[in-house]
Amino acid sequence: IDPYEGSRPVNRMQVCRAEYRAIGRFVEQLRPTRQCMKTLQTQFPHLPPSTLLSIFSQEYQKRMKRSMVRHHAPDVLKAYYQRYRSEAQTRPTAPLLLELANQVDLSPALLARLIVECFLEERAASVPSRHVLNNMLREPYLIPDLLLAKHVDAIGLEHEDLLRDKLRERNLSFLDENQLRVKGYDKTPDIILEVPIAVDGHLVHWIESKASFGDEHSHHTYLNEQFWSYCNRFGPGLVIYWYGFVSELDCQRGRGILLRDGFPSDIVTLSRV
């Protein structure tokens, strides 16, 4: 099953709130092994493996947050950071954060946060503010260590490349984050379309790519920290959750935010005025 292709009458990667909670309860019993994914697929055979993997990853991340005391112990943090720095010197092009996260049984996103926090503490000899840390994790180019910035950025880069490829296939003109920064924009979506499109009868000026399943907690966080500001600044837009989302969350179309679980096939290209 290709998780990247667009719209369907019934979206195979949308999950209702009740089923998402049922999956969450089931995941609580599992450990992150190869067998656990087979067990999940047997229990929920109608969902794509990629969607189940993303849901499992997010639920496991929540579980990890509840056990962060162990990972936040000063000696443990120091060990993680030293391992990363050592590996970065010998294997700079390897996916080090993903590898280390798997080895220490921690989600890549949380490990990236810990490593960046350690780097900033070492550099400034003080604890970084939450605002500074969050900005660097959202916009890795702000991290003043080029190699660490690349490793943090690599966690979500693959799907942004896929989105750009899909837009080029449709001959749609766009500006990406790097081009927008050159123009002086600071906080932007992944893509701004030079000529808007219509999807499902809704106008789309910008597209945001999320390499994750859209659950209630993460979606509401994104709404408040990103999506509403994009709407206010650039007009209505489209968010692609490549691994699906809770179907009830697609309820803000009237306010300018459309959700999809793949690149839409029902695009209407609007004429340049």
- CATH 3.40.50 for domain 158-269, yes or no, is no
On the question of pLDDT at 235 being above 90, the answer is yes
Looking up tokens 């010998």, which residue turns up? Answer: 90
Instruction: Specify the range with the lowest mean pLDDT, choosing from 101-115, 170-184, 206-220.
Output: 101-115
In the chain, where are the structural domains located?
A: 14-154, 158-269
Helix/strand/coil percentages in the chain, nearest 5: 55, 15, 30
Q: For residue 172, which amino acid is it?
A: L
Counted residue by residue, the chain has a size of: 273
Residue among 95, 30, 34, 18 nearest 56 (CA): 30
Identify the CA nearest to 245 among candidates 72, 54, 102, 27.
54
Q: Which of 18-27, 78-87, 98-107, 204-213 has the highest mean pLDDT?
A: 78-87
Residue in the block written with tokens 């650039």:
234
Interval 72-106: pLDDT, tens: 678 888 999 999 999 999 999 988 887 887 777 66
Grouping H, G, I as helix, E, B as strand and the rest as coil, residue 166 is helix
pLDDT at 201 over 60: yes
DSSP SS3 for 14: strand
Contact indicator for 211, 242 with CB cutoff of 8 Å: yes
Give yes or no for a contact between 34 and 49, defined as CB atoms under 8 angstroms apart. no
- In this structure, are strands 202-210 and 245-246 parallel, antiparallel, or unpaired? unpaired
- The whole-angstrom separation of Cα 107 and Cα 60 is 8
pLDDT of residue 258: 96
Report helix angle 74-90 to 96-104, nearest 10: 140
The reported pTM is: 0.55
Residue 251 pLDDT level (bands cut at 50, 70, 90): very high
Average pLDDT estimate for 193-213:
89
Distance CA 183, CA 26 (A): 47
State mean pLDDT over 37-41.
83
Over 60: is that where the pLDDT of 8 sits? no
Long-range contacts at 57-62 (CB < 8 A, ≥ 24 apart): 57/107, 57/212, 57/213, 58/212, 58/213, 58/215, 58/218, 59/23, 59/24, 59/27, 59/28, 60/27, 60/32, 60/107, 61/107, 61/109, 61/110, 62/217
User: Cα separation of 39 and 44, whole Å?
Assistant: 9
What phi, psi does 141 have (nearest 5°)?
-65, -15
Among all chains, which residue has been given the structure tokens 């990629």? 50
- E strand or H helix that includes residue 205: strand 202-210
Separation CA 214–CA 16 (nearest Å): 11
Q: What's residue 173's pLDDT?
A: 93
